[in-house]
Chain A
């Protein structure tokens, strides 16, 4: 295999890894929006808190075998509790206030923007403005050889495996279980589902818990690559929104494919766009234009998709509310 082909394959796998990480963030967001009709700007705060909490626990357990993994696992119930609190204290009262859909969405945007600011301030109080890293266990630190020329860090492969497992588990949960059936019923028409005996209130709490835990998981998995930082709270929420809009609001399948698409586009753009542009533009111009263009690329993709298909690539089949 030539060196170029190996490079391309490595970058493709990096794209898949980033895409699956973004999927973890977007999945929670799309579930919360799809099932509950709730716009959660504070979702990024869950990502940040997941990162900091898991890194803190791992730091306390330094020297204990499996400390990092334990940090990630112990963080999940904490984040789930936080999600539940958000539903009970904020989402539910707003939902019952009897607002029109447009006013409700605006109120949600405002309130969760407040939650985001408050969470960032609390995180700054506890962890300061410095980033926070973790020490990975030995078995995740090496390289894994895939074929003769392609080497991938074991940790990136680990993220790919976890991401695919979560995607599969979510798919099975929604499509093959009674709980999933009820969730889909609530998503398509909450009043009708309630009339038919679905425990809507409990389901709402469960979805918030699940969504927050997924976001926390994504944050925790990002720490070994790029440290836990306060900036995570505002950085990932926007990309996650772009993904769920490209995929179709409320569609898990859509957010999965859109996340992969965005991950690929971002990674490949960063890796190859300057060379590609240099072929048609003067070198100096290409080198300055490439980073800006590759950062913009996902937003360009979103604008293009929305103009072509306003409901996204895979709009959920039934949305009785609208």
Chain B
């Protein structure tokens, strides 16, 4: 029974990727621009989840603060745009999308480097809580930025300008997001199959042994942490351009929980897992919230069910 299920999952995942690629055409054909919007959001969240999958699935690091990088990438886009329109900001003021991307990746990487170096002094539940604390700090920091909307966040009055691309065109923005997702997936594959990836997996399975063999365990984990953060920061850059809105709430811990949910649902460490997880999350959210205002109830129950299923509790009918 195992092989057919795997085959079905593979078909589903490749089908998903194909559907994402064709989404602008499908949306036009079906005259449903709303679904293109959903598909773009899906691709962006999946990219952030790919970053987290590298940490959790390959390196065994359960970060509960990954939404912080989405917020960093988004603000790294929104702040230069704000200054380019309304003056001030000095060298920051630019509407050049490539510079926004560069800034997002640099800021995300720096935040990951600093917080990761501190958080990696601990493991297990302490690591989960420390990463969450750092993202909460960022949340309050962004709330304190009164110039950029403080608590309420702010709207982007124009999108990033890219040579040869018009991000105001929903289809072009979507394809950019899908291209970023595919690039992220390729990077994940490359890292996973590289020597570095093997060492990383070793650090997940037996950190003490890796250390005894002479591998620099903490720097390896830190490098993975930084790469994962940068990927999510790119997703944040896309997210700001997609929603044309940024707010501190992007960094809130519940969003980190959602990203974690996507990775685990898709199967931590599986290559296309984050795509499946993000699709399940976004589609469930859309579907359930169209059915009921209280969509958190079925969603929460589903989460519980998944946790019990993955632990193997449901299959045994509750018997130990």
Contact = CB atoms under 8 A, between A and B. Distances in A.
Interface of A: 33, 39, 41, 90, 93-94, 96-99, 101-111, 113-122, 124-125, 234, 238, 241-242, 245, 249, 288-289, 291-293, 295-296, 299-300, 302-303, 306-307, 310
Contacts of B304: 90, 111, 114-115, 118
Nearest to A292: B144
Given A105-B125, A121-B297, A300-B137, A96 B320 contact: yes
A296 B137 CA distance: 5
Nearest to B301: A118
A299 B136 contact: yes
B107 interface: no
B140 A109 contact: no
Interface residues of B, number: 51
A299 B129 CA distance: 10
Nearest to B304: A114
Contacts of B302: 114
10 contacts: A93-B311, A94-B313, A104-B311, A114-B304, A114-B307, A121-B296, A121-B297, A124-B296, A299-B133, A303-B130
Nearest to B141: A292
B295 A241 contact: no
B144 A306 contact: no
A235 B268 CA distance: 28
What is the interface of chain B mostly: helix, strand, loop, or mixed?
helix
Contacts, number: 149
Contacts of A296: 137, 140-141
B126 A306 contact: yes
Interface string B282-303: 0000000000011111011111
Nearest to B146: A288
A97 B313 contact: yes
Given A97-B313, A245-B129, A118 B141 contact: no
Interface stretch (B21-29, B75-83, B91-99, B253-261): B253-261
A231 to B, nearest CB: 11
Contact of A292 (B143, B254, B306): B143
Nearest to A233: B254
Interface stretch (B116-124, B168-176, B212-220, B221-229): B116-124
A234 B260 contact: no
